[in-house]
């Protein structure tokens, strides 16, 4: 019984439905060109927003040839710790705090 092999189809792994009588969603092709000159097409849904750049199979980034690329979104510059600190305190307050901390450190050194 252990040597028998079950033959047949794998349940759920293969679809037996055909695509003959089905209409595909409307699509449009976008052409991109890499820096090395390679041109490639990517299909998009008709109502999708087409990106200005797309990664090619060769690993290079391709730029949109036809059509208008969407405008780049405005990005806020990253806030640094210093920027956030200046939102809470003025430079004069920071100088005063620095003096106090330095005085504390000097007092500890003298006492130790």
With bands split at pLDDT 50, 70 and 90, how would you rate the model's confidence at 94?
A: very high
Strands 61-64 and 27-33: antiparallel
pTM above 0.85, yes or no: no
With bands split at pLDDT 50, 70 and 90, how would you rate the model's confidence at 25?
A: confident
With bands split at pLDDT 50, 70 and 90, how would you rate the model's confidence at 12?
A: low
Above 60 in pLDDT, residue 3? Answer: no
Contact partners, residue 61, CB within 8 Å, separation at least 6 = 34, 35, 53, 54, 55
CB 38 within 8 A of CB 55: no
Reported residue count of the chain is 112
Domain ranges of the chain: 27-64, 81-111
CATH superfamily of 27-64: RNA polymerase-binding protein A (2.20.28.270)
Of 19-23, 35-39, 89-93, the range with the highest mean pLDDT is 89-93
Q: What is the mean pLDDT of residues 8-33?
A: 75
Please name the residue ranges forming H helices in 43-90. 81-88
CA of 8: how far to CAs of 31, 33, 50, 93, 109, in Å?
43, 46, 44, 80, 84
């Amino acid at each position: 019984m252990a040597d028998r092999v079950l033959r047949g189809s794998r349940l759920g792994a293969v679809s037996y439905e055909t695509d003959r009588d089905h209409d595909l969603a409307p699509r449009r092709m976008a052409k991109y060109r890499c820096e090395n000159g390679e041109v490639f097409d990517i299909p998009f849904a008709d109502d999708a927003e087409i990106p200005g750049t797309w990664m090619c199979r060769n690993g290079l980034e391709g730029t949109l040839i036809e059509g208008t690329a969407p405008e780049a979104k405005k990005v806020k510059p990253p806030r640094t710790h210093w920027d956030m600190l200046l939102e809470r305190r003025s430079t004069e307050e920071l100088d005063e705090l620095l003096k106090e901390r330095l005085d504390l450190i000097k007092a500890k050194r003298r006492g130790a």
